[in-house]
């Protein structure tokens, strides 16, 4: 099923809402994140690819989620401070969401991506093309440096 996120409304960290269409023309990697997860060190790799590909129109969008083992219990300011201090994160971190069960956006839309279903754990990744269509879904164990993920990002950036 082709899933487009352009009309998906999300809540920024300042409480304002916006459509993901505001990022049209950019390649996005949307990731549900958590500070106390075994996958938390992936923040460093996410920051690396964010920096490397940002000049070409790429950005990482992080959505904190406490749905998996209560591994993101903190408030948004605490989360942002943790990410900045420990991993040098400067990509956008949105308000906390739900990625499974009674989901909230962007996951109500993203979970329709093949294979459809709820996010399985923290650090699941969705690659979005410049046109707002979901290109690929990567499981939590896929590291930001993974060849398949990097290849998909580069192909999306080269596609006009």
Catalytic residue among 5, 37, 62, 83, which? 37
Give which of 101, 103, 100, 110 is closest to 61, Cα–Cα: 110
Residue 33 host element (H or E) = strand 27-33
Q: How far apart are alpha carbons 47 and 51 in whole angstroms?
A: 6
Report cis status (omega within 30 of 0) of the bond before 95: no
83 is catalytic: no
Catalytic residues: 37
């Amino acid at each position: 099923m082709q899933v487009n996120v352009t009309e998906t409304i999300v809540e920024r960290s300042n409480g304002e809402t916006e459509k993901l269409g505001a990022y049209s023309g950019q390649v996005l990697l949307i990731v549900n994140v958590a500070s106390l997860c075994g996958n938390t060190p992936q923040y460093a790799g996410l920051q690396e690819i964010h920096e490397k590909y940002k000049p070409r129109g790429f950005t990482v969008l992080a959505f904190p989620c406490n749905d998996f083992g209560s591994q993101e219990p903190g408030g948004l300011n605490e989360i942002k401070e943790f990410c900045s201090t420990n991993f040098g994160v400067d990509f956008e971190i949105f308000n906390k969401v739900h990625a499974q069960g009674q989901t909230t956006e962007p996951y109500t839309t993203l979970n329709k991506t093949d294979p459809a279903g709820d996010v399985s754990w923290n650090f699941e990744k969705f690659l979005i093309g410049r046109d707002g269509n979901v290109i690929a879904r990567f499981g939590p164990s896929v590291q930001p440096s993974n060849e398949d993920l990097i290849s998909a990002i580069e192909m999306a950036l080269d596609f006009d």
